[in-house]
C-alpha cells in the first residue's frame, strides 16, 4: 500500500463496492447524469492515480501522456475499445475490465431481442395498447419460428457460448465462427435464420457486417447485435431492411450511441433498438462494480489485476 491515492470515477455505479474506495482513498465520483466531457476527463485524469471509467469515456494516448500520476485504469465493461491499451502498456499502466460478471445477463438479453424480433412483440404490444386490437386475427403479427431454427453465432467467447447454451434449449442448430474466417463466415451467414454478433470491436471486426455480408443472409433472417455498434455498417443495415434483403434487426448497440433522432436507420422497417442494456441487471452491474473496484485497489497496491485485459504487454 502506498498511502492515500486519488481516484476518479466517471459515473456513480450500482452497488456498495465504491464504499471500499471511499474508505481508503480520496475518491471523486463525477456527479452528472451524462459522462464527463473529454476535456473534463483529461483534467481529472491529470490529477489522479487511478481511473474507473465507462465505455463512454475516451482514454486515448493524449490523455495518458498528460496523466503522469496514473497507475491503473479500470474499465466498467468487458470491452475496452474506448481505451488505448497500447499507450497504457507503454506507460506501464495496467488496464482492467469486468469479464464474466455480465456474461449471462447479456446472453439473456440477446435471446430476449431474438424472441422479440422473431415474434414481433414490440409491434403487437403497441397495437394492443393503442386500442387497435378488436378481435383475434388469424393473419396478424405472423412471425418466425425460433424452436428448431438455425442460429449463427459470430464470436464464441464467454457470451457467445452462453447464447449457444440457450439456443440448445430451443432445439436450434448452432453454427459458430470464432475468427474472421471468410469461408466459415459466409457459410454461417447463408445458412442462419438468426445471426447474433458477439465479437470485440477491433480493427479487424469494424464494419465486418457490411453490405456484402448482409447480401449473403436469407431474406427471412434476423440480425442481433449485443456486442459493439461499429461491427455493423449502419447504412448498409438500413438499406438491407428497407429493401427486404433481411427480415429484421434487433440492436442493443449502435454507432454512434445514442443513434441520433434523424438517423435514416430509425426509418427502417422491422428494427428494434434498445439503449445498450445488455448487462442491465442488478446482480450483473453490482458485480461489475465489485470487479472494477478490485482492479483499482490491486493496481494501486502494485498487485496483478484480478481481471487485466487480455494480452496487455509492457515495454
The DSSP secondary-structure symbol of 102 reads: T
Looking at 71, 198, 234, 276, which residue is catalytic? 276
Active-site choice (11, 198, 228, 287):
228
Q: Residue 310 and residue 243: Cα distance in Å, rounded? A: 40
Instruction: State the Cα–Cα distance between residues 239 and 45, nearest whole angstrom.
Output: 42
Q: Which of 26, 173, 257, 286 is catalytic?
A: 257
- 198 a catalytic residue: no
Question: Is-catalytic flag, 206?
Answer: no
Q: Is 228 a catalytic residue?
A: yes
**Can the peptide bond before residue 275 be classed as cis, meaning omega within 30 degrees of 0?**
no
d(CA 149, CA 114): 12
Alpha carbon distances (Å) from 135 to 131, 132, 140, 209: 11, 9, 10, 40
Residue partners of 124: CB distance under 8 A and separation at least 6: 140, 141
Q: What residues have CB less than 8 Å from 282, skipping those under 6 apart?
A: 14
What b/e readout covers 152-180, taking b as 16+ CB neighbours within 10 angstroms?
bbbbbbbbbebbbebbeebebebbbbeee
Residue positions annotated with a catalytic role: 228, 257, 276
Amino acid at each position: 500500500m502506498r498511502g492515500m491515492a486519488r481516484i476518479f470515477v466517471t459515473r456513480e455505479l450500482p452497488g456498495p463496492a465504491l464504499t471500499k474506495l471511499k474508505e481508503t482513498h480520496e475518491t471523486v465520483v463525477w456527479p452528472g447524469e451524462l459522462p464527463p466531457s473529454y476535456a473534463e476527463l483529461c483534467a481529472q485524469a491529470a490529477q489522479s492515480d487511478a481511473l474507473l471509467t465507462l465505455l463512454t469515456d475516451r482514454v486515448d494516448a493524449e490523455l495518458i501522456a498528460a496523466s503522469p500520476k496514473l497507475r491503473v485504469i479500470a474499465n466498467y465493461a468487458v470491452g475496452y475499445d474506448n481505451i488505448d491499451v497500447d499507450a497504457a502498456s507503454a506507460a506501464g499502466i495496467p488496464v482492467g475490465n469486468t469479464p464474466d460478471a455480465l456474461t449471462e445477463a447479456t446472453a439473456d438479453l440477446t435471446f430476449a431481442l431474438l424472441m422479440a424480433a422473431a415474434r414481433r412483440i414490440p409491434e403487437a404490444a403497441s397495437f394492443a395498447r393503442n386500442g387497435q386490437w378488436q378481435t383475434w386475427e388469424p393473419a396478424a403479427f405472423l412471425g418466425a419460428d425460433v424452436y428448431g431454427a438455425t442460429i449463427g453465432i459470430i464470436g464464441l467467447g464467454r457470451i457467445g457460448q452462453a447464447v449457444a447454451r440457450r439456443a440448445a434449449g430451443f432445439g436450434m442448430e448452432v453454427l459458430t465462427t470464432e475468427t474472421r474466417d471468410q469461408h466459415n463466415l459466409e457459410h454461417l451467414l447463408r445458412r442462419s435464420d438468426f445471426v447474433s454478433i458477439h465479437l470485440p470491436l477491433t480493427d479487424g471486426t469494424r464494419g465486418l457486417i457490411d453490405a456484402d455480408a448482409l447480401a449473403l443472409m436469407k431474406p427471412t433472417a434476423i440480425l442481433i447485435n449485443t456486442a459493439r455498434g461499429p461491427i455493423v455498417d449502419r447504412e448498409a443495415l438500413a438499406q438491407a431492411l428497407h429493401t427486404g434483403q433481411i427480415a429484421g434487426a434487433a440492436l442493443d448497440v449502435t454507432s454512434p450511441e445514442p443513434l441520433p433522432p434523424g438517423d435514416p436507420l430509425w426509418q427502417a422497417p422491422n428494427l428494434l433498438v434498445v439503449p445498450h442494456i445488455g448487462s442491465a441487471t442488478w446482480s450483473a452491474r453490482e458485480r461489475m462494480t465489485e470487479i472494477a473496484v478490485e482492479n483499482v485497489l490491486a493496481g494501486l497496491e502494485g498487485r496483478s489485476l484480478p481481471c487485466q485485459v487480455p494480452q496487455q504487454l509492457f515495454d
